[in-house]
Each structure stands twice: as structure tokens, then as C-alpha cells.
Amino acid sequence: MTKKKDIEILLEKYFEGTTSGQEEQILRTYFTGSEVSEDLAVYRPIFSYLDAEIKNCSTAKPHPRYISLKRFTWPAVAAIFLLMLGFTAYYRFNNTTGDGSYVIINGEKFSDVRLAQQQAQKAFEDVSFSKDEITDNLIPEDMKEGLE
Amino acid sequence: MKKRKKYIIMLLTLFFAINLSAQEGLRIADVFRQYEKKHGTTMVQLSSEVLGSYNMTLYKSLSFQPSSTGKLGIDWVTECIELDKKKAKKIKETLLDGELHSGYYQLSQVQKGINRFILFKVNEKKKATLIYIEGSLDSAELVSMLFNKK
């Protein structure tokens, strides 16, 4: 009888929202047991449901842990930057456009500065022009005949 | 957030400073890349150490024989030069039968005090010479050098 009285007090507290976790556990244990007083049996479904839900929650698989991608942003930026730098360095190395003086003849590279200067001089002469060439380009053929 | 922006700008600036030589960004850089290792081609690069007395900081020349047809033939080469020509502030060209025979181009500066020039010529044997020059020398100095060579 004392137990029933205690349960009634706990119920009252429960519906007022002032029960502790432990007191709610007592209520759930009572209402899921076999000795539920007939006049309190009306509350059995509520506490049975709650008890079942709590058990489900405790046995449910934990939520997967999501890892924020934000934390990888800066390392990713740095990695991309280094990759770009690496690719460019590799590309430049293979295309021999780096610093220094050299000459490539028929695909073979020579670092002899004198040879490079000699070949540079030759190329420069190839694009240079003489007075005759200027005259040739500026004066039309028919006019040249007249001049001669 | 502002710090991050600064960091990105700093990284990008560093990247471009390391990677951008003035010739990069010009289409003739592609011509150099395509032809420099080919048989029958002579490619020269002279750096500032050997060019000091000419007021040049970089000299690159390519003497090559572009094919008259094909994807990377003479048409492609002149097309590359035509595209770079758009960045030129001084242009001197001679055409033979409507085709580019020789070209002299002074490009706009990308670095203060450093002039950039492209010289191009095709001879009677269809051998082409392409030269790229960077330096403090001005147009008059270069023309004078070209004029005295023959």
C-alpha cells in the first residue's frame, strides 16, 4: 500500500515535470512490472512506451561521426600550391627554359657559353637587315627600274 | 577571414612571381617549346651575366625550319606572332606575297624599365629565325645593332 502511495506521489511529480531521472526509472520499473494497481493501470501504456523507447535508444547504433571538411581546407590549399609549384618546376626543367646560358642544337643541349654566344650572333645576323634590303622593301620594283 | 584573404593573395603572388617570366604569357613561348628540341633547330638562351654590355637581361633565339603545312607549321608560327603582335606598341613588318617575311615588335613593358622585343624573319630557304629579347635597351639601340650586323 505504501508503494502505491509512493507511486501516486511520483506520478503527481511526473505530471508536474519535477521528477528526477531516478524517480522516473522507478515509475517505469513499476509500470512495466506485474504488480500494477488496477486504478493506476491507466498509466501503464505511457511508461511501457517510454521504457521501450529508452531501451531502443540505448541499443541503437551511435550516429556516425562526421568529420568537418573545413579543417582540411588549408592543408589542401597548401598541397595544391606545392603541387602546382612542383609541376611548373618539372615542366620548366624539361623544357630547359630556366636561367643560364646554353644552346640546344638538334635536340642536344650545350652549356658552353662561347658556343651559345656564337649561335646567338648568327641568329641575330639572320634577322638583321642591310641598306639594300630596306631599299628593296620600301621602293616598288617598277620605281627601281626607273632609278636604274 | 581577412587574414585568410591576405594569405591567399600572398601565396598567389609568390606563385606568379616564381613562375612568370615575361616571355611566359606570350604565344612565342609555345613556338620555342615546340621547336627547341627538334632536329634541325638551334635554340639559344643567353642570360644577363653574358649580356650585360648589351643592356639585355635575356636573349632567346630559335633558328628552325617550320613545315609549310601541318598543325605546327609556318602558319601556326605566324599565327602565334600575330597574337603577340596585339601586345606590341611598335610594329615593323615586311610581307612577301601576302605572307610575313620579317617582323620587328616592341611589346609593352611588364616590368618597369624592361623592354621586350620580338624579332622574326624567314629567309629564301624558308628557314625561320625567332628572337625574344628583354632588357633596358631601347628600340633605337636595337635597330642600330640590327642595322650594323650586315
Is residue B98 in a domain?
A: yes
Q: Select the more confidently predicted residue: B61 or A97.
A: B61
* Cα–Cα–Cα angle for B102, B58, B56, rounded to 5 degrees: 90
Q: How confident is the model at residue A147 (pLDDT cuts 50, 70, 90)?
A: very low
Is residue B10 in a domain?
A: no
Q: Is pLDDT above 90 for A146? A: no
Contacts of B49 in chain A (CB under 8 A): 101
| Structure confidence by residue, pLDDT tens digits, A37-85 | 888 887 888 888 888 888 887 776 666 677 777 777 777 878 887 888 7
Single-letter residue type at A127: V
Domain range list for chain A: 2-59, 100-148
Contact between B147 and A128 using a beta-carbon 8 Å cutoff: yes
Is residue B17 in a domain?
A: no
Q: Is pLDDT above 50 for A95? A: no
Q: Is pLDDT above 70 for B12? A: no
Interface of B with A (CB under 8 A): 8, 11, 15, 18-19, 21, 23, 29, 32-33, 36-47, 49-50, 59, 61-63, 94, 102, 119-121, 123, 127, 129, 131, 145-150
Q: Is pLDDT above 50 for A148? A: no
How many domains, in total, are found in chain B?
1
Domain span holding position B128: 22-148
Q: Is B110 helix (H, G, I), strand (E, B) or coil?
A: strand
What contacts B121, CB < 8 A, 6 or more positions away? A126, A127, B101, B102, B103, B128, B129
Of A99, A120, A133, the CB nearest to B44: A120
Q: How many CB atoms lie within 10 A of CB A136?
A: 14
| Structure confidence by residue, pLDDT tens digits, B47-100 | 988 887 888 999 999 999 998 888 889 999 999 999 999 989 999 898 888 889
Contact between A116 and B61 using a beta-carbon 8 Å cutoff: no
In terms of Cβ atoms closer than 10 Å to its own Cβ (0-12, 13-18, 19+), residue B99 is: exposed
In terms of Cβ atoms closer than 10 Å to its own Cβ (0-12, 13-18, 19+), residue A106 is: exposed
Contacts of B45 in chain A (CB under 8 A): 96-97, 100-103, 116
Q: Select the more confidently predicted residue: A65 or B109.
A: B109
Which range (A54-58, A68-72, A107-111, B15-19) has the least confidence? Answer: B15-19
Cα separation, A68 vs A82, in Å, equals: 23
ipTM > 0.90 for the complex: no
Is residue B69 in a domain?
A: yes
- Mean of pLDDT over chain A: 77
How far does B92 lie from chain A, in Å, by closest CA? 12
Q: What is the pLDDT of residue A66?
A: 72
Q: Is pLDDT above 60 for B118? A: yes
Q: What is the pLDDT of residue A133?
A: 65
Q: For A98-105, what is the mean pLDDT?
A: 83
